[in-house]
C-alpha cells in the first residue's frame, strides 16, 4: 500500500477569532492512504493542538496523535503536534484544530485555530 505523507507546517502563531480561521490548500489523498498534519506548538506551556470537532468517521480516521520535541534541546523551543490520519472513503471533509490547554473546559474565543480541507479520491 502506498503511503502519502503530507507535511503541513504552520510556522506563524497568531491570535484569531473563529471567523478568521486560517484556511490552507486542500489536502489530497487516495482511499487507503495515510497523511499527516504537523502544527507548531510548545507543550511545555500547557497548550497543545487538538481537533476542535470530531472527524467524519465515514471518510477519515485519526490513527495517531503525538508530539515531537524541537531539534534543539534548548528549554522553551517549540516542537510539533503531529496528527496521522487515514483516508477511508471518497469524499470531502474538513479538519479543524484549536490550540488549547487540555484541562480547560471551555475553549477561549481568541484561541489559535487552523482549518484544513481534505479531498479523498
For residue 22, what pLDDT band results from cuts at 50, 70 and 90?
low
Domains of the chain: 9-120 (2.60.40.2020)
* pLDDT value at residue 23: 62
The rounded distance, in Å, linking the Cα atoms of 43 and 45 is: 5
- Predicted TM-score (pTM) above 0.95: no
Which one, of 48, 36, 43, 44, lies nearest residue 7 by Cα?
Answer: 36
For residue 81, what pLDDT band results from cuts at 50, 70 and 90?
very high
Amino acid at each position: 500500500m502506498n503511503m502519502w505523507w503530507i507535511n503541513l507546517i504552520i510556522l506563524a502563531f497568531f491570535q484569531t477569532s473563529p471567523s478568521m480561521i486560517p484556511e490552507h490548500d486542500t489536502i489530497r489523498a487516495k482511499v487507503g492512504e495515510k497523511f499527516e498534519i504537523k502544527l507548531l506548538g510548545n507543550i511545555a506551556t500547557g497548550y497543545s493542538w487538538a481537533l476542535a470537532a470530531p472527524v467524519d468517521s465515514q471518510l477519515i480516521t485519526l490513527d495517531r496523535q503525538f508530539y515531537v520535541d524541537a531539534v534543539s534541546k534548548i528549554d522553551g523551543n517549540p516542537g510539533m503536534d503531529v496528527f496521522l490520519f487515514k483516508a477511508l472513503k471518497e469524499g470531502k471533509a474538513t479538519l479543524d484544530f484549536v490550540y488549547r490547554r487540555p484541562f480547560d473546559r471551555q475553549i477561549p474565543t481568541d484561541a489559535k485555530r487552523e482549518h484544513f480541507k481534505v479531498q479523498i479520491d
